[in-house]
Chain A
Amino acid sequence: MLELLGNGLVTVFSFKVLILIIGGVAGGIVIGALPGLTATMGVALLLPLTFGMDPVGGILLLLGIYAGAIYGGSISAILLKTPGTPAAAATVLDGFEMAKRGEAGRALGISTVASFAGGTISVILLTLISPQLAKLALKFSAAEYFALAMFGLSIIASISGKHLLKGLLAGVIGLLVSTIGIDLVTGYQRFTFGNMNLFNGLSFISVMIGLFALSQAFVSIETMVKKLVIKQKVDRVLPSLSDIKKITPTTIRSGLIGTFIGIIPGAGADIGAFVAYNEAKRFSKHPNDFGTGIPEGIAAPEAANNGVTGGAMVPLLTLGIPGDATTAIMLGALIMQGLQPGPLLFVNHAPLIYTIFAGFFVANLIVLILGLIGIRFFTKIIDIPSYVLTPIIIVLCVVGSFAINNSLFDVRVMLISGVIGYIMEKLEFPASPIVLALILGPMAERELRKALIMSGGEASVFFTRPISAVLLVVAAITLLTPIIKSIIKKSKEKRMKV
């Protein structure tokens, strides 16, 4: 393993790859810092940049954007009280308070160091955990993969928040859309209307660009704001030794929390940041100081949200199940490069995997360096007026969806997805379940039918194999708990009214 990592580092430190990582991180920080542009949107928009690149460079560019954007969100959270990405929402609580006192530089410095530490912890865990998990997954057969897909799908209920029913509906629609195209088992054409472009199904990257980038651009046209003004002066960014000492325990704990939340499919950086913030408060000797601008209150969410980045890569690389919406796009990127994520990736492409690990570590290091040196430059970027930015984003959506297959058909798919995404947003239907369903749907169907064919139509095969049985039970619990909770809550409310 160490040898593979060493070779990986050598590849990463070649001029071309290093430039791509630096560019990715810098671009990511800018995207993250601009309110309204999320990490998912950034990766979706810039994915087409990688089509002409070799796998290592392309994937590391996207990972750089991912790590940079999650960190960059804290810049506007601290300076503008507006989180640049949902992942930085918890950073506003203490970050802005500290900046208000005239210590914007100190807040940004703490956020930078914590992000680096959280990201590094998650990369180390990613390197240690995923080969073991992949080894285990090599023994999986169709029944386990079906159970795994069901587990991933059950997460839909938990990420739908208060719109549980609408989340489930969105998930089912996504699953139905995933059946469009030639049935892989029998070769029969389903719902293709004889259109050749639909034989291989809808390109889910187009759907994602539409749902996550274009629909957001539509929304931001309505909420076009005047130029945001930064009042705070950014002074010394390098954190003092006493600050570092203060945040170390919180940072390590939050990095670990973030990583493990990232590993759970469906739970992303926003959830990780809030959980870590609450835990930091619970562990603290002075919990009442949280929210008044203390270092731990910035370190906890920032270490956790960057911790999620490495964690979310674990199920993606080992099982082919994305840990959050951003890694879902990464899955598309890997497939476009001819790499099918899953346990076999560790057998057939071990050097590549370890190069990705090494490169991801370097990306976090660059977050630290750029964050400490270039922060003044990045605070200037927030000044780009959104009336220029939004139209350019729309053009990039078009360019990106065209580049997937060189076809205007994919652009139309993207356009329709964008319009649907916009309407869904207005009607409070969550969009992430559709994407999760689009990715896991084909896997669930294929493995279900494979397992049934192998067992001769006996459904008991899913429950006699231990791993599959456990996963299915966990999936059922994950799916049913929020449903039962919401029913209990509603009946309580009714009783209160009567």
Chain B
Amino acid sequence: MPTYRKWFQPYVGPYDPCPPLGAVAYETPVQLYLGFQPAGMEQYSPVQALSYGTLWPGLYTPYTNPFNPVNKGADS
């Protein structure tokens, strides 16, 4: 299973004017890894699908604000 959020640590210079923000997150959602969708993947119920925005649990990659401390360190 790939992870859908990655982090990198930008260089911290000795004369940076602002305190460093720390690691920077970027999203790597499922479509980067799935390839051509295989037949017969698991499906949500219609009501769930309408609420999640996709029929396929395998395509559901929700987003959370990485600047929220609660989400720090989350990598999936």
Q: Are A and B subunits of one complex? A: no
